[in-house]
Amino acid sequence: MSVRARPPFGGLDASMEVISGKWKVLIRWALRDDPQRFGALKRQVPGVSEKVLARQLRELEQDRVVRREAYDDRTGLRVEYSLTPRGIDLYQALKPLGDWGRRHLAPDAAPDRG
């Protein structure tokens, strides 16, 4: 059943399909402040292979969360990746979830009330 056909679970299940995948979270995190080149992105996402990183970036582009820009500078073709306005909006929407993770899952998180 495609996402569109599924009953609207508050827009959440459609969002989950866009954000899911452990690498995408880390890629968006690496792009949160500035555009990055492929190599710099790879260094900031521990454990990802070039092949997987390239595929994840393509998917993020298809979901219009990331933009790929290629341009000529004095040294030749330069390619940079950055968050689109939709990607920046997603990054903001995920902050409360990151806060939840720090509250409940971090090694020093306070014990829950149950």
End-to-end CA distance of the chain: 36
Cα separation, 57 vs 27, whole angstroms = 8
Q: Does 110 bind a copy of itself (CB under 8 A)?
A: no
Residue length of the chain: 114
| Piece of 34-42, 51-59, 70-78, 87-95 that binds a copy of itself (CB under 8 A) | 87-95
76 binds a copy of itself (CB under 8 A): no
Cβ distance to a copy of itself smaller for residue 77 or 106: 106
Q: How far is CA 22 from the centre of its chain?
A: 9
Contact flags string 46-75 toward a copy of itself, x per CB under 8 A: xx----------------x--x--------
Phi, psi of 3 (to 5 degrees): -55, -45
Residues 7-36 touching a copy of itself, rule: CB under 8 A, are 7-20, 22, 25-26, 29
Contacts for 63 with CB less than 8 Å, ≥ 6 apart:
18
Q: Which two tokens stand for residue 114?
A: 């149950």
* Interface ranges with a copy of itself (CB under 8 A): 1, 3-4, 6-20, 22, 25-26, 29, 46-47, 64, 67, 84-86, 89-90, 92-107, 112-114
